[in-house]
């Protein structure tokens, strides 16, 4: 698999996107476990766009926006161990309207999200789940030196061809969208780490465990 020239193009696009974000704030993957209140608080305080990927009832009493990075291990842990509880007990029951937004912490997250956006809309979350669960195939944290080849391998598992995957990862317009979304997160909600959540206007940095998630969401529900 000869990806040298295309890898350089893709890497340059991703690098420009991350540089634009890093110029505003140093981003990281971690668990700060702190909560603050964003400006413009209130139920459904975050304005959605046509680009957002969502789950649940838009009229649910709680709006929960997760900012995460596909290469973030804490995000992957939340996805595998806590998100199923969130989905079964709050999203599927009409209590939480969930929005997922990628907030890159490294060059690798831009082509990863670009790939996810090339999937059919109804397959987006399944592919994000696959990226989380297969980080060892494509994430530099696992010693991977050819990220694009690893991402293509993941895309192949999902039924996408190498040529299409390469084209998707090299999409500058998509990289620009990812950058703008991240810059908005920084400007509006002071997001600087992943995962971070905006829940009805309250910003919470760091992943929940099941008990803290239940306590947090039930407290929001009690206000309704």
Looking at residue 18, its pLDDT comes to 59
Summarize the confidence of residues 68-84 as an average pLDDT.
Answer: 97
For the chain, the 3-state helix, strand and coil shares in percent, each to the nearest 5, are: 50, 15, 35
Cis omega (within 30 of 0) on the bond before 209? no
Q: Which of 192, 178, 183, 149 is closest to 13 using CA atoms?
A: 178
Looking at residue 45, its pLDDT comes to 80
Structure tokens at 170: 């090299």
Looking at residue 40, its pLDDT comes to 40
Looking at residue 224, its pLDDT comes to 75
pLDDT in tens, 127-152: 999 999 999 999 999 999 999 999 99
Confidence label for 198 from pLDDT (cuts 50, 70 and 90): very high
DSSP state of 47: P
Confidence label for 27 from pLDDT (cuts 50, 70 and 90): low
Is the pTM value of this prediction over 0.75? Answer: yes
Over 80: is that where the pLDDT of 12 sits? no
Over 70: is that where the pLDDT of 20 sits? no
Summarize the confidence of residues 196-221 as an average pLDDT.
Answer: 95
In this structure, CATH architecture of domain 4-222 = 3-Layer(aba) Sandwich (3.40)
Looking at residue 23, its pLDDT comes to 52
Looking at residue 37, its pLDDT comes to 46
pLDDT in tens, 161-173: 999 999 999 999 9
CA separation for the pair 154, 104 (Å, rounded): 18
Domains of the chain: which residue ranges? 4-222
Confidence label for 38 from pLDDT (cuts 50, 70 and 90): very low
Confidence label for 11 from pLDDT (cuts 50, 70 and 90): low
């Amino acid at each position: 698999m000869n990806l040298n020239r295309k890898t350089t193009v893709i890497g340059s696009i991703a690098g420009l996107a991350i540089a634009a974000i890093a110029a505003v704030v140093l981003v990281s993957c971690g668990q700060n476990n702190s909560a603050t209140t964003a400006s413009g608080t209130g139920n459904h305080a975050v304005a959605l766009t046509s680009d957002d990927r969502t789950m649940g009832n838009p009229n649910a009493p709680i709006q929960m926006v997760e900012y995460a990075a596909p290469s973030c291990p804490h995000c992957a842990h939340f996805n595998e161990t806590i998100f199923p509880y969130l989905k079964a007990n709050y999203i599927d029951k009409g209590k939480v309207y969930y929005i997922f937004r990628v907030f890159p912490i490294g060059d690798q997250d831009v082509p990863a999200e670009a790939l996810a956006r090339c999937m059919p809309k109804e397959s987006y979350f399944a592919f994000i789940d696959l990226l989380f669960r297969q980080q060892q195939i494509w994430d530099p944290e696992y010693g991977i030196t050819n990220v694009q080849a690893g991402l293509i391998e993941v895309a192949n598992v999902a039924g996408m061809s190498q040529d299409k995957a390469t084209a998707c990862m090299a999409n500058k317009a998509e990289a620009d969208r990812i950058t703008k979304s991240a810059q908005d997160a920084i400007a509006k909600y002071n997001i600087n780490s992943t995962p971070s959540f905006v829940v009805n206007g309250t910003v919470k940095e760091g992943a929940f465990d099941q008990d803290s998630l239940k306590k947090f969401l039930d407290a929001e529900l009690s206000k309704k």
